[in-house]
Chain A
Amino acid sequence: ETGVTQSPTHLIKTRGQQVTLRCSSQSGHNTVSWYQQALGQGPQFIFQYYREEENGRGNFPPRFSGLQFPNYSSELNVNALELDDSALYLCASRRDNSPLHFGNGTRLTVT
């Protein structure tokens, strides 16, 4: 039990639609990161939020956006979905310099 909960566990969307994925972290985890894991690949860093501000971003287009809330929850939003966005999306959080705790992920399928 890592204390990081993601919802939903599975999701099917159509190309061009928009999606919001949610993550609930442990109390006190002031940093949250999102990763995309395509089938058969390692996770790729999307972005990171620290105290509700984005403070790092990987090589993902602006249609990937996020929010972090004061209650230690966060969201990943993806607009104009493409087939290649099909992947497992992982949320991870930590407090200061402690190790990252990962959630079980949301499996997104874009048809």
Chain B
Amino acid sequence: AQSVTQLDSQVPVFEEAPVELRCNYSSSVSVYLFWYVQYPNQGLQLLLKYLSGSTLVESINGFEAEFNKSQTSFHLRKPSVHISDTAEYFCAVRPISSGSARQLTFGSGTQLTVLP
């Protein structure tokens, strides 16, 4: 079984400031890791994912996340946030092994609010 812990439920930050959203996971098997973003009244959009290779992954809109296997973490960072980054962010894991439903296990989410 897998579990995901997002340590901060709310993160307020001023525009152009850096931000880090924390994510830790627990799993008895190897997993893929994901960050999803949810804007109000919308579904989830994939922000970035770690499948293999370089432990630092980047999105097209300036976010990055680093997989740390020893600390079982996958924290999301952005060096300078914009008002438009205001949204709910979810960390998720999925077992690598084939043959199962390979469903996503989500954390409880972090509401990022960017203040002017």
Q: Are A43 and B104 in touch, CB under 8 angstroms?
A: yes
Where chain B touches its partner, the secondary structure class is: loop
Tell yes or no: B28 within 8 A of A by CB: no
Partner of B46, one of A44, A100, A105: A100
Tell yes or no: B49 within 8 A of A by CB: yes
Tell yes or no: A104 within 8 A of B by CB: yes
For the complex, count residues of A whose C-beta is within 8 A of B: 25
Report the nearest B residue to A2, measured CB to CB: B43
Minimum C-beta distance from A65 to chain B (A): 16
Tell yes or no: A40 within 8 A of B by CB: yes
**Chain B residues touching A, range:** 20 to 34
Taken residue by residue from 51 to 86, chain A's Cβ proximity to chain B (1 for < 8 Å, 0 otherwise) reads as 000011110000000000000000000000000000
List chain A residues, Cβ under 8 A from B42: 104-105
For residues 78 through 106 of chain B, which have their beta carbon under 8 Å from a beta carbon of chain A? 90, 92, 100-106
Known: A33-B104, A42-B6, A102-B44. 14 other contacts (CB 8 A): A33-B101, A35-B104, A41-B108, A42-B4, A42-B92, A43-B90, A43-B104, A55-B101, A56-B102, A56-B103, A90-B43, A99-B46, A102-B36, A103-B43
> A-B pairs with the 6 shortest C-beta distances?
A56-B101, A42-B106, A102-B43, A45-B103, A102-B44, A48-B101
